[in-house]
Every structure is written in structure tokens, then in C-alpha cells.
Amino acid sequence: MRPKRNLTIHLRPTSQEIDLGSLALLALFGEKLPPPDPAQAERYWHAYSDNEILGRCVRLGCDDTISPTRHYHWAIYRAADGEFAVQEFWKPEVWTTTRYGSALRGAWGCPKL
């Protein structure tokens, strides 16, 4: 079992798109990617196959200027076309990967939260 890592993502306030590819690579390898050379091919292959990305949910921030405090999240679901997609949402409580996974219930598509 690999050790758990914390992932910090810094966003620019003007950013409108979520780079799912970069997010996934950071989740697989941490802050530093291995060099893209033939010697690392096996490492990249196993990093992909050894990870469960579907249903991952992270709290990225909060708005404590209102009551109750709202928490901002990103979570990964499978869109109708079969590709991974990110659902962003605000909730008055912190959502975990376990809770978001329950909302998915193994179904495709963006869950209603």
C-alpha cells in the first residue's frame, strides 16, 4: 500500500477551466513527475492502473464570510461519453471521497447533490 499524500492545488481566480489531466498526474505522482523517458515507462503504466480516480472528492477551500460556512469541492465522475469529468460544488459541510462515492452509486453521469 502506498502512503497517502496531501495534494495542494493553487488556482488563479481568472481560471475558468479545470485541467483534469494535470490534476490526475499530480494525484498519481505527487508534486514531481518522473522524467518522460523509456526507463520510466513501467512506472507510468502501473501508476495509472493502480489508482482509483473515479469518485475522488477534494475540498479546495471555503467561504467563511457567510454563515454557515460554505466549502468548495471538486469531484471526479464519469460523463455520459465515458470520459472522466469534474463536478465542482459548494456545500455547507465537507464532503469526502467516501460520501461522494455513495452519491455516485456506481452510475455514470454527474450525481445530483
Q: What is the largest CA-CA distance in the chain?
A: 53
Using DSSP's 3-state secondary structure scheme, residue 110 falls into coil
For the record, the C-alpha cell of 104 comes out as 455516485
Per-residue pLDDT of 82-100, as tens digits, reads: 888 899 999 999 999 899 9
pLDDT bin (cut points 50, 70, 90) of residue 22 is low
**pTM for the complete prediction?**
0.58
Going by the DSSP 8-state scheme, the letter that residue 4 receives in this structure is P
* Model confidence at 103: pLDDT above 70: yes
Q: Indicate the pLDDT class of residue 68, thresholds 50, 70 and 90.
A: very high
Kind of pairing between the strands at 84-91 and 70-78? antiparallel
Q: Can you give the residue ranges of every domain in the chain? A: 19-51, 53-113
pLDDT at residue 100, rounded to an integer? 92
State how far the alpha carbon of 31 is from the alpha carbons of 4, 28, 38, 61, 97, in Å: 13, 9, 21, 19, 21
Lowest mean pLDDT among 31-35, 72-76, 91-95: 31-35
Instruction: Give the percent of the chain with pLDDT over 90.
Output: 23
Asked if residue 16 has pLDDT above 60, the reply is no
